[in-house]
């Protein structure tokens, strides 16, 4: 009984001093970010509330984005597929448009959390959260996606590969929101593989996404959980593009990643899995 | 703040960032929803929000405003899945059971084994090894329409 009382008091303590702003229109949200900040944006809360429950969530003022319906759309503008920041993994899995154009994004969405997380977690949240283990991020990097940032002073478009500046840091300003991800038309075969302790619910030990163009261009390869941010592997891509043996490309890959030991796995294990995944991708591609 | 819990309108006076889990247990008195891990890993706190399974420990009250919430109490104790879990050994220690049954409700009628595995992957059970849970769902499917209001007698396997 005492223990329960303590838990309740703690939970109350976690929220009682916090303020939630709930704009109904995007313009209001952007104005609040400019005038009433610093605000922590929240959407699916699948990361944010984990931190809240653990008592590690910083910030006292929050901005609920969930009512901003215009950040929920999935549509094609010209040759570009635009996926709104509030689109959930369940939306991604169920979208014929995404399945046709970016099947590797559907593959990633299926392996994020379980169905409860897929129903709530958003693509914009995965990008803004800036975890090196975000499973959609290698897909977006290999797809050469653009992060569309909005603020009261206008729009900025940043390539995903230039978005992150370090571990959990990005070029996004405190007055900006991730509004959408724009994915150009992808030519060639797409490939995705997540290695974790199980398919559902586990944070990845290594995650890799790749595109193998069919027009003689070099492949595009990106991976997560192997460096402080999601990384493209330009030298590995060039080596494979020039016809290097897979063993040589694997040595190049090891120079381009910087995995660490953590509670999910060791750096050595991650290096081995990474070179194996590269070989798997390249064999799958050559066989096709 | 108003939400609909088990087909009834509930007016709640609580902080908008209070977890839906705590609102259900403390403000609505519905303690059937359990807290396991508090980080979205175990699925014990699963409820249906507008028909979709979600982890209620990761939902702020503000985002449940206007939503239709179904908790285990909303199945009335007579749902074919509840009967089947009891009869087929799908419930052992019981902590995962409310969330497991609600996730199973969301699978719809007669799910394939593969669909059960994927649909329940976010609900951890450390007693049954899942075999008895899949057996329970199959058993409930045999006479069930998968509707929340299906007569309990149809659930006998």
Contact A53 B121 (CB under 8 A): no
Chain B residues in contact with chain A using a Cβ-Cβ cutoff of 8 Å: 15-19, 22, 26, 38-41, 43, 46, 49, 52-55, 57-60, 62-63, 103, 106, 118-124
pLDDT band at A10 (very low <50, low <70, confident <90, very high): low
pLDDT band at A8 (very low <50, low <70, confident <90, very high): low
Q: State yes or no: pLDDT of A3 exceeds 80.
A: no
CB atoms within 10 A of CB B69: 25
Name the pTM for this structure: 0.92
- Secondary structure (3-state) at A200: coil
pLDDT for the residue numbered A117: 97
Q: State yes or no: pLDDT of B71 exceeds 80.
A: yes
* Distance in angstroms (rounded) separating the CA atoms of residues B45 and B71: 9
Q: State yes or no: pLDDT of A263 exceeds 90.
A: no
Provide the residue count of chain B: 157
* Distance in angstroms (rounded) separating the CA atoms of residues B106 and B119: 8
- Averaged pLDDT score across all residues of chain B: 91
Residue of B nearest to A112 (CA): B122
Q: State yes or no: pLDDT of A15 exceeds 60.
A: yes
Please report where in the chains the tokens 């290097």 appear, as a residue.
Answer: A244
Q: Which residues pair with A83 in a beta bridge?
A: A74, A181
Chain A residues in contact with chain B using a Cβ-Cβ cutoff of 8 Å: 8, 11, 15-16, 18, 20, 22, 42, 44-46, 49-50, 52-54, 62, 64, 66, 90, 113-117, 119-120, 198-201
Contact B41 A201 (CB under 8 A): yes
Contact A15 B17 (CB under 8 A): yes
Residues A209, A191 contacting (CB under 8 angstroms): yes
Find chain A residues with C-beta within 8 A of B26's C-beta: 8
Tell me what percent of the residues of chain A surpass a pLDDT of 70. 95
* CB nearest to B39's CB, from A50, A198, A200: A50
More confident call, A201 vs B110: B110
For residue A143, which of A94, A177, A92 has the smallest C-alpha distance? A92
Q: State yes or no: pLDDT of A137 exceeds 80.
A: yes
Q: Number of A to B CB contacts under 8 A, please give it.
A: 92
Tell me what percent of the residues of chain B surpass a pLDDT of 90. 89
* Distance in angstroms (rounded) separating the CA atoms of residues A205 and A207: 7
Q: State yes or no: pLDDT of B157 exceeds 60.
A: no
pLDDT for the residue numbered B145: 41
* Distance in angstroms (rounded) separating the CA atoms of residues B54 and B22: 14
Q: How far is B5 from chain A (nearest CA, A)?
A: 18
In terms of C-beta density within 10 A (0-12 exposed, 13-18 middle, 19 or more buried), how is residue A80 classed? Answer: middle
CB within 8 Å of B70: residues ≥ 6 apart: B5, B6, B47, B48, B51, B102, B105, B148
Contact B16 A120 (CB under 8 A): no
Q: How far is A23 from chain B (nearest CA, A)?
A: 12
Q: How far is A134 from chain B (nearest CA, A)?
A: 16
Q: How far is B86 from chain A (nearest CA, A)?
A: 24
* CB nearest to A15's CB, from B15, B40, B118: B15
pLDDT for the residue numbered A6: 59
Residues A223, A162 contacting (CB under 8 angstroms): no
pLDDT for the residue numbered B150: 42
Condensed to tens digits (0 to 9), the pLDDT of residues A152-164 reads 999 999 999 999 9
pLDDT for the residue numbered A216: 82
pLDDT for the residue numbered A204: 84
Condensed to tens digits (0 to 9), the pLDDT of residues A225-250 reads 999 999 999 999 999 999 999 999 99
For residue A34, which of A174, A157, A178, A147 has the smallest C-alpha distance? A174
pLDDT band at A205 (very low <50, low <70, confident <90, very high): confident
CB within 8 Å of B127: residues ≥ 6 apart: B92, B93, B96
- Secondary structure (3-state) at B69: strand
For residue A33, which of A57, A69, A68, A8 has the smallest C-alpha distance? A68
What average pLDDT score do residues B13-23 get?
97
pLDDT band at A2 (very low <50, low <70, confident <90, very high): low
Contact A116 B106 (CB under 8 A): no
Find chain B residues with C-beta within 8 A of A125's C-beta: none
* Distance in angstroms (rounded) separating the CA atoms of residues B46 and A226: 33
pLDDT for the residue numbered B152: 40
- Averaged pLDDT score across all residues of chain A: 93
pLDDT band at B154 (very low <50, low <70, confident <90, very high): very low
* Distance in angstroms (rounded) separating the CA atoms of residues B122 and B37: 12
* CB nearest to A200's CB, from B15, B46, B122: B122
* CB nearest to B62's CB, from A64, A117, A201: A64
Lowest mean pLDDT among A13-17, A104-108, A114-118: A13-17
Residue of A nearest to B116 (CA): A115
Q: State yes or no: pLDDT of B156 exceeds 60.
A: no
Residue to substitute from B13, B27, B122, interface A, most A β-carbons within 10 A:
B122
Find chain B residues with C-beta within 8 A of A66's C-beta: 62-63
pLDDT band at A171 (very low <50, low <70, confident <90, very high): very high
pLDDT winner (highest mean) among A191-205, A255-269, B34-48: B34-48
pLDDT for the residue numbered B153: 38
Find chain A residues with C-beta within 8 A of B31's C-beta: none
Condensed to tens digits (0 to 9), the pLDDT of residues A90-109 reads 999 999 999 999 999 999 99
Residue of B nearest to A12 (CA): B18
């Amino acid at each position: 009984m005492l223990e329960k009382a303590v838990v309740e008091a703690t939970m109350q303590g976690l929220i009682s001093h916090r303020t939630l702003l709930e704009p109904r229109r995007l313009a209001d949200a952007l104005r609040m970010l400019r005038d009433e900040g610093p605000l922590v944006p929240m959407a699916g809360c699948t990361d944010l509330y984990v931190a809240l429950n653990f008592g590690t969530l910083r910030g006292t003022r929050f901005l609920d984005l969930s009512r901003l319906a215009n950040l929920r759309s999935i549509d094609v503008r010209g040759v570009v597929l635009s996926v709104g920041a509030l689109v959930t993994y369940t939306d991604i899995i169920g979208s014929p448009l995404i399945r046709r154009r970016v099947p590797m994004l559907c593959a990633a969405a299926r392996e994020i959390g379980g169905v409860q997380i897929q129903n709530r977690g958003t693509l914009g949240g995965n990008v803004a959260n800036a975890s090196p283990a975000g499973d959609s991020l290698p897909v977006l990097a290999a797809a050469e996606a653009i992060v569309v940032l909005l603020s009261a002073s206008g729009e900025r478009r940043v390539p995903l590969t230039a978005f992150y500046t370090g571990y959990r840091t990005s070029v996004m300003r405190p007055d900006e929101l991730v509004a959408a991800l724009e994915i150009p038309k992808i030519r060639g075969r797409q490939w995705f593989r997540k290695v974790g302790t199980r398919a559902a619910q586990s944070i990845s030990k290594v995650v890799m996404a790749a595109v193998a163009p069919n027009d003689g261009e070099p492949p595009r390869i990106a991976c997560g959980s192997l460096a402080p941010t999601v990384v493209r592997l330009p030298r590995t891509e060039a080596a494979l593009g020039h016809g290097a043996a897979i063993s040589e490309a694997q040595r190049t890959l090891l120079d381009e990643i910087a995995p660490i030991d953590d509670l999910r796995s060791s750096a050595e294990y991650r290096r081995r899995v990474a070179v194996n995944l590269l070989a798997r991708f390249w064999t799958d591609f050559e066989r096709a | 703040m108003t939400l609909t819990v088990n087909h009834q309108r509930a007016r709640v006076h609580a902080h908008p960032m209070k977890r839906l889990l705590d609102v259900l247990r403390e403000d609505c008195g519905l303690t059937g929803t359990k807290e396991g891990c508090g980080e979205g890993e175990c699925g014990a706190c699963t409820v249906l929000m507008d028909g979709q399974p979600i982890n209620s420990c990761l939902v702020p009250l503000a985002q449940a405003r206007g939503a239709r919430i179904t908790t285990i109490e909303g199945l009335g104790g007579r749902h074919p899945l509840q009967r089947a879990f009891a009869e087929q050994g799908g419930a052992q220690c019981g902590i995962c059971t409310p969330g497991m049954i609600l996730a199973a409700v969301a699978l719809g009628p007669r799910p394939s084994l593969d669909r059960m595995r994927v649909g329940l992957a976010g609900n951890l059970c450390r007693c049954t090894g899942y075999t008895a849970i899949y057996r329970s769902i199959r058993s409930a499917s045999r006479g069930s329409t998968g509707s929340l209001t299906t007569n309990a007698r149809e659930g006998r396997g």
